[in-house]
Amino acid sequence: MRIVLPRSGASCDLHGMVATLGRLFLDAVAPRRCAGCDAVSEEPICGLCHEVLQTGPTPAPWRLPTVVAFAAFEFDGVVREVLHRGKFQGDRAALEALSRLACPRLGRVPRPDAVLAVPLGRRRRRQRGYNQAEVIAAVLAEAEHVPLLDGLVRCRETAPQAKRDEAARLANIAGAFAWHGVPLGSAGVWLVDDVLTTGATAMAAATVLAEAGARRVTAVVLARVL
């Protein structure tokens, strides 16, 4: 039986609004450039980069101890550039464009009853203006016609995972998540993030969701580091 969960309201983020206004101002005074190659482009991702993304390889599913992870792209080349533009330079449109391109590449993933994003800590969210995983998750939830939930929370700040080995990543993220949302009621959920490296974050979050009642948690990311 398919379980339909109530949609959670999206929170308003002042810093995200400022970042968006800044992007709109830049678009007004200077030509927009492709997030993948920096060529002048009316679209967030130009036609040439669009073709590169459509023809690139799709990573095989990765079975981790607590979750199976699916990625739409390899974290390389154009994909890396687009994600960096969206993650560190406030370009939500680039993230949304890449997410839409990812949708047809996720056909192998078990269909979800709901979608949710890996949450950011408050400090990092203030620095970036928004959570890039939420931007991606919103596009995927709309494409799948399922609710977007926000009950997964980061209950403590963690140091950046970059440049840590697998053991250090697992220790760093342990106990960082909690579920404060509606009962999951044996739903199958997609746990969405931008990039998967060792899988430590996905495994920690998936454990919390399973304890909250999810019958199946599937990690879904735009790109995987191979």
User: Is residue 205 in some structural domain?
Assistant: yes
Q: How far apart are CA 156 and CA 94, in angstroms?
A: 29
DSSP state string for 24-89:
HHHHHHS--B-TTT--B-SSSS-HHHHHHHHHS--PPPEE-SS-EEEEEEESSHHHHHHHHHHHHS
User: Is residue 5 in some structural domain?
Assistant: no
DSSP-based three-state secondary structure for 143: helix
CATH of the domain at 141: 3.40.50
Residues 17-25: what's their mean pLDDT? 63
User: Is residue 8 in some structural domain?
Assistant: no
Taking Cα atoms as reference points, which of 190, 180, 192, 184 lies closest to residue 214?
Answer: 184
User: Is residue 185 in some structural domain?
Assistant: yes
User: Is residue 19 in some structural domain?
Assistant: yes
Strand order in the sheet with 188-196: 62-63, 68-74, 216-224, 188-196, 114-117, 148-149
Q: How far apart are CA 28 and CA 11, in angstroms?
A: 27
Please state whether beta strands 152-154 and 177-179 pair in parallel, antiparallel, or not at all (unpaired).
Answer: antiparallel
Q: Please provide residue 69's backbone torsions phi and psi, each rounded to the nearest 5 degrees.
A: -110, 140
User: Is residue 9 in some structural domain?
Assistant: no
Count of the separate structural domains present in the chain: 1
The residue count of the chain comes to 226
User: Is residue 18 in some structural domain?
Assistant: yes
For residue 121, the model assigns a pLDDT of: 81
What domain range is 105 assigned to?
A: 14-224
pLDDT digits (tens, 9 = 90+) for 81-140: 999 999 999 999 999 999 999 999 999 999 999 999 999 888 888 888 999 999 999 999
pLDDT digits (tens, 9 = 90+) for 188-206: 999 999 999 999 999 999 9
Average pLDDT, the chain: 87
pLDDT at residue 4 tops 70: no
User: Is residue 119 in some structural domain?
Assistant: yes
User: Residue 8's pLDDT band (boundaries 50, 70, 90)?
Assistant: very low
